[in-house]
Amino acid sequence: MKINLANIKKAKKLLNKNECIAIPTETVYGLAGNAYSNNACKKIYELKKRPKKNPLIVHYYNYKNLEKDCYFNQDFMKLYKKFCPGPITFVLDLKKKSKISKIVTNNKNTLAVRFPKHPVTRNLLKQLKFPLAAPSANLSTKVSAVNSTDVREDFGKKIKYILEGGCSSIGVESTIIDLRKKPKVLRLGGLEISAIQKLLKKRLTI
């Protein structure tokens, strides 16, 4: 799809003011805000009517930008090189000095991170000075949004802006894998477990 730079500029302006907007990803649309801002993250939970104890996934442009927030390990680097950007989310240990809002993690010392592949959102992330906390852009009781019409149905005018990115190509959530110790699958999703097992040469617990 053709990238509309004026739309991305508008998205960036709102996110810099700690507003929440919807963004397209290849899995589902996300309800995004500055992951370093308590105000922005509070708004995400309010808009979604999401229970506070359910932590958010944080979206990065690349692993370089993640270095100040999380510790990596060999499994992470292997999977990153093969599957990122793409539909896989990693749970990692959070660094003490990280500026990630405590609201994102519900005060946990772990963080779920992802590198989305959608070209519009990648272009946006590259321009921002912060990563984006973004759960799926649907009300907590509804199914995930895979296009801008779905997002509008759930949020109407409550949401400041929807960054248009067409239909999500994958249409299901990312696979979540906890890499802190023995790799463990926390949620099945867009990336096959067999592909992960093959690369790591390890059996995963589910």
Three-class secondary structure assignment of 29-53 = CEEEEECCCHHHHHHHHHHHCCCCC
Q: Which of 25, 101, 121, 136 binds ligand AMP (CB under 6 A)?
A: 136
Q: Which of 1, 5, 167, 186 binds ligand AMP (CB under 6 A)?
A: 186
Residue 168 binds which entry of ligand AMP, Mg ion, none, CB below 5-8 Å type-dependent: none
- Token match 């990312």: residue? 174
Min CB(44)–ligand AMP separation in Å: 10
Name residues contacting ligand AMP, limited to 53-112 (CB under 6 A).
54-55, 57, 91, 105, 108, 110-112
Q: Nearest-CA neighbor of 40 among 120, 88, 95, 99? A: 99
Residue 5 binds which entry of Mg ion, ligand AMP, none, CB below 5-8 Å type-dependent: none
Q: Where are the alpha helices (DSSP H) in the chain?
A: 5-16, 38-48, 63-66, 74-83, 102-105, 119-127, 148-155, 193-200
- Token match 């929807």: residue? 162
With contact defined as beta carbons under 8 Å apart, do 85 and 65 qualify?
A: no
Nearer to ligand AMP, 135 or 165 (CB): 135
φ, ψ of residue 173 in degrees (nearest 5) = -60, 165
Q: Which of 136, 168, 174, 175 binds Mg ion (CB under 5 A)?
A: 136
Binding mask 14-53 for ligand AMP (x = CB under 6 A): ----------------------------------------
Binding positions for Mg ion, rule: CB under 5 A: 136
Interface residues toward ligand AMP, by CB under 6 A: 54-55, 57, 91, 105, 108, 110-112, 135-136, 173, 176, 186-187
